[in-house]
A and B are shown apart, each in its own frame.
Chain A
Amino acid sequence: MPADKLIFDPVSPVSQEDEAPHPVARKKVRFWIDGREVVAEEGISVLEAAHRVGIEIPSLCYLKNINEIGACRVCLVEIEGARNLQAACVYPVSAGLKVRTSTPRVLRARRTVVELLLSDHHRECTNCIRNLNCELQHLADTLGIRNIRFTGETSNYPIFNKNPFIVRDYNKCIKCRRCEAICSKVQEVHVYSAQNRGFDTVIAPAFMKDLAEVACITCGQCVIACPTASLVEKECIDEVWQALADPDKYVVVQTAPSIQVTLGEVFGLPVGTVVTGKLVASLRRLGFDRVFATDFTADLTIMEEAHELLERLDGRGGPLPLLSSCSPGWIKFCEHFYPEFIPNLSTCKSPHEMFGAITKTYFAQKEGLDPKKIVVVAVMPCTAKKFEASRPEMGSGDWKDVDFVLTTRELARMIRQAGLNFRQLPDEEYDTPLGIASGAGTIFGATGGVVEAAVRTAYAITHGREMGVIDFEEFRGISGVKEAWVELKGRRIKVAIAHGTGNARKVLDRMKAGEQFDYVEIMACPGGCVGGGGQPIFGSRDHKEISLDYRHNRADALYRIDYSRRIRLSHENPAVQKIYAEFLGAPLSETANKLLHTHYTPRGPLPGYAVNPVQ
């Protein structure tokens, strides 16, 4: 039997977790929306049924399958026979139902609701980070709000902006609880809940602590979910402009793999458009001295992590399963909630930190640059990487590996500030050598990509290079938990892939119960980096579904890049081979350990309290 037939054996069922919430086919019913006959499954919401026939009922708090609580009252509709207006997001359709979605009474009620929301919303739209991209603003426009009749007490909270990753402005919160829903139901981190009562209600961590003081994993999914600017990333655009303008500084930029498939969205290109060349061109025009790709250090990560895996399979160097470490949100999750698995974490720094360390050593030596004058800017799909860059262990005593982390959104703002017409930019190539990447490094940006890249290389190391590239289709896709058996080093190893920390809990709890795995990839964000907390947000787009669909389209684009690459194996990347020959020696060498590997800190679930197990 040829080896490639042996290698992959998906565990059946591949996922038990992602079944539709209503697995039993439901009875179809006939009803009327605005006089039009509609047939749909009994029990789906009026809002959903209307959406399917092209009627968009406005809403704010509704997130499909995540937050269906009827709290904001924006989606009110008239139901024949019902005395009061009903919230369409939680009103189930039934046979014969007659719904009116835009009567004068409905429109008046919706306007009143939104006016009330606006009356206690800090309306500084012109200088707001979500200006022209805010669901509340968009809604006010859609409903034609021309004046706000209500004045009264307004919230006046200080802005929580002391941590390096997420800023909370309670004065812009509309209490939709989408942040709480995504944090609790999807990520299962439970940072937020409603605190206090009545007008004083805030959706906040316990005792209104800053996110830095609680067990927040910094993933930024709440930022993606927030309809307004109540939760936003901590910007560092000005600092980057300063560095670019400083003639003493040598400013190097790296872009995470997923940026090339998401940045275009901000400039009106369809989801899943590959804009690698324009991304590079825009960065050159912003004035960066070198434009490199984090995909390169993703290849380096694979070299280190694949060897780490092989060592551990040999019974050396740490326990199994090996847990991937390139998602800093997942790392912080592990430190808070599963500190017992810290020894299982790969000691590899995440690729952007590796990149910073390599730039300020290897690259600085090669170019004859003073590492203290090099500024490393990382464009990341991620708020957690802002936190990661601030970890004291990420750097030498003299410098930080990465000086500034920009989200995809921040880079888009810089491009706009610079007046670049993104869509008309030519396609340019990354600089060498730290811009050379294999397809394996690029698929890091999608859930399953790290495992696929590592297994490709580990497999080639153990089976010889003639194996060529194997596409592990079953590692791909948006199932919450994916599992497979892989033949490696003469034994079958069990691989699991989870994305979204809620799914991670499922795998980790099975590990706690004694189930054996050998290699587990965990990404903090649903979909992996393509669904990261730093990716574009669309306040004016239909945002009712933080859907995996667009994450899926973005991931597909990454796989297309992988297919198009001549080199698709990390260890065949010539720049990677060269850096080992010239500088690092071999994977897991002393230099590699010093620059590319790190350690972790048990934090516990209740930081700051005596009861915290690691206090």
Chain B
Amino acid sequence: MLDKYSRLDKVIKVHGRQPGQLIRILHQAQEIFGYLSPEVQAYLAAKLNIPLAEIAGVVSFYSLFNSEPRGKYTISVCLGTACYVKGSQEIFQALKNELDLDDDDTTPDGLFTLRSTRCMGACGLAPVVAINDDIYGQVKAGDVAGILSRYQAKELADDHEYQRPAEHPATAPPPH
């Protein structure tokens, strides 16, 4: 964890002095930590001298930022106009049923997070489902179980249980 904070410090060193770089820094912080916990947001508030309420406001405004731990695989179902008219709502419902999840929830084993998204810019493939960086086009509700099983099988093959990120990560290092 300390290592992650020192990586964040490097990001702050590069961008922290320029105004208007908050979103870029948040983005990189999320890459480092996987999600933006309140503790990480407070750390940035202290280092960037930006009010915490403002940082939390930005994080909660943009759907690309997560303030809670994510599963190993994030399943994004496009509910943008093109996908929607092609029936993505049914795919979304099928995934909800299959995984027993609500929107923006994560399975107890930490494998999958399900979320609805706006247009991904792949309307030609509508309806579109993305699992991390894998894009599935022209998906039907009936395909859902099969797609999921690939990832579940992969996990079994890897033969080790995926460690879900802790709810409350180790605390930030003391201020320098």
Same complex for A and B? Answer: yes
Give residues in A with beta carbon < 8 Å to B: 184, 190-197, 204-207, 214, 605-606, 609-613
* Stretch with Cβ within 8 A of A (4 or more), from B50-58, B108-116, B144-152: B50-58
Do A206 and B38 touch across chains, with their CB atoms under 8 A apart? yes
Do A197 and B60 touch across chains, with their CB atoms under 8 A apart? yes
Do A606 and B60 touch across chains, with their CB atoms under 8 A apart? no
Q: How far is the CA of A228 from the CA of B175 in the complex (A)?
A: 41
Identity of the chain A residue whose Cβ is nearest the Cβ of B49 in the assembled complex: A605
Q: How far is the CA of A606 from the CA of B40 in the complex (A)?
A: 12
Q: How far is the CA of A207 from the CA of B51 in the complex (A)?
A: 13
Do B172 and A195 touch across chains, with their CB atoms under 8 A apart? no
Do B56 and A206 touch across chains, with their CB atoms under 8 A apart? yes
Q: How far is the CA of A605 from the CA of B38 in the complex (A)?
A: 15
Do A611 and B53 touch across chains, with their CB atoms under 8 A apart? no
> Number of contacts between A and B (CB, 8 Å)?
65
Q: For A194, what are the chain B residues with a Cβ–Cβ distance below 8 Å?
A: 57, 61
Given contacts A609-B38, A611-B172, contact A193 B53 (CB under 8 A): yes
Q: With contacts A193-B51, A214-B52, A613-B175 known, what are 4 further pairs, Cβ within 8 A?
A: A190-B54, A192-B53, A193-B56, A609-B42
Q: For A613, what are the chain B residues with a Cβ–Cβ distance below 8 Å?
A: 46, 175
B174 interface residue, CB < 8 Å from A?
yes
Q: For B47, what are the chain A residues with a Cβ–Cβ distance below 8 Å?
A: 611
Q: For A195, what are the chain B residues with a Cβ–Cβ distance below 8 Å?
A: 53, 56-57, 60
- What are the nearest 5 A-B pairs in CB distance? A190-B51, A206-B56, A609-B42, A193-B53, A610-B171
Tell me the smallest distance from the CB of A173 to a CB of chain B, in Å. Answer: 15
B84 interface residue, CB < 8 Å from A?
no
Tell me the smallest distance from the CB of A447 to a CB of chain B, in Å. Answer: 26
Instruction: Name A's interface SS.
Output: loop
B41 interface residue, CB < 8 Å from A?
yes
B33 interface residue, CB < 8 Å from A?
no
Q: How many residues of B contact A (CB 8 A)?
A: 23
B123 interface residue, CB < 8 Å from A?
no
Q: How far is the CA of A609 from the CA of B37 in the complex (A)?
A: 11
A-B contact pairs, 14 of them (CB 8 A): A184-B51, A190-B53, A190-B54, A193-B56, A194-B61, A195-B56, A206-B56, A207-B38, A207-B56, A610-B42, A610-B174, A611-B47, A612-B42, A612-B46
Q: How far is the CA of A207 from the CA of B137 in the complex (A)?
A: 37
Q: For B42, what are the chain A residues with a Cβ–Cβ distance below 8 Å?
A: 606, 609-612
Q: For B175, what are the chain A residues with a Cβ–Cβ distance below 8 Å?
A: 611, 613
Interface residues of B in 17-44 (CB under 8 A from A): 38-39, 41-43
With most chain A CB atoms within 10 A of its CB, the pick from B38, B53, B54, B174 is B53
Q: Per-position contact with A for B137-176: 1 when CB-CB < 8 Å, else 0?
A: 0000000000000000000000000000000000111110
Tell me the smallest distance from the CB of A69 to a CB of chain B, in Å. Answer: 15
Q: How far is the CA of A60 from the CA of B39 in the complex (A)?
A: 35
Q: How far is the CA of A219 from the CA of B159 in the complex (A)?
A: 58
Q: For A206, what are the chain B residues with a Cβ–Cβ distance below 8 Å?
A: 38, 41, 52-53, 55-57
Q: For B51, what are the chain A residues with a Cβ–Cβ distance below 8 Å?
A: 184, 190, 193
Determine which of B39, B43, B54 lies in contact with A193 in the assembled complex, contact meaning CB atoms within 8 Å. Answer: B54
Q: For B173, what are the chain A residues with a Cβ–Cβ distance below 8 Å?
A: 610
Q: How far is the CA of A490 from the CA of B55 in the complex (A)?
A: 51
Do A193 and B38 touch across chains, with their CB atoms under 8 A apart? no
B99 interface residue, CB < 8 Å from A?
no
Q: How far is the CA of A197 from the CA of B173 in the complex (A)?
A: 31
Q: How far is the CA of A458 from the CA of B125 in the complex (A)?
A: 82
B120 interface residue, CB < 8 Å from A?
no
B45 interface residue, CB < 8 Å from A?
yes
Q: How far is the CA of A403 from the CA of B54 in the complex (A)?
A: 36
Tell me the smallest distance from the CB of B59 to a CB of chain A, in Å. Answer: 9
Do B43 and A611 touch across chains, with their CB atoms under 8 A apart? yes
Do B39 and A610 touch across chains, with their CB atoms under 8 A apart? yes
Identity of the chain A residue whose Cβ is nearest the Cβ of B54 in the assembled complex: A193
Do B39 and A609 touch across chains, with their CB atoms under 8 A apart? yes
Q: For B174, what are the chain A residues with a Cβ–Cβ distance below 8 Å?
A: 610
Tell me the smallest distance from the CB of A497 to a CB of chain B, in Å. Answer: 27
Q: How far is the CA of A205 from the CA of B175 in the complex (A)?
A: 23
Q: Per-position contact with A for B54-74: 1 when CB-CB < 8 Å, else 0?
A: 111100110100000000000
Q: How far is the CA of A206 from the CA of B42 in the complex (A)?
A: 9
Identity of the chain B residue whose Cβ is nearest the Cβ of A183 in the assembled complex: B53
Tell me the smallest distance from the CB of A485 to a CB of chain B, in Å. Answer: 33
Identity of the chain A residue whose Cβ is nearest the Cβ of B63 in the assembled complex: A197
Identity of the chain A residue whose Cβ is nearest the Cβ of B50 in the assembled complex: A190
Q: How far is the CA of A360 from the CA of B46 in the complex (A)?
A: 43
Q: For B38, what are the chain A residues with a Cβ–Cβ distance below 8 Å?
A: 206-207, 609
Q: For B45, what are the chain A residues with a Cβ–Cβ distance below 8 Å?
A: 606, 611
Identity of the chain A residue whose Cβ is nearest the Cβ of B53 in the assembled complex: A193
Identity of the chain B residue whose Cβ is nearest the Cβ of A190 in the assembled complex: B51
Q: How far is the CA of A610 from the CA of B63 in the complex (A)?
A: 26
Q: For A610, what are the chain B residues with a Cβ–Cβ distance below 8 Å?
A: 39, 42-43, 171-174
Q: For B57, what are the chain A residues with a Cβ–Cβ distance below 8 Å?
A: 193-195, 206
Identity of the chain B residue whose Cβ is nearest the Cβ of A197 in the assembled complex: B61
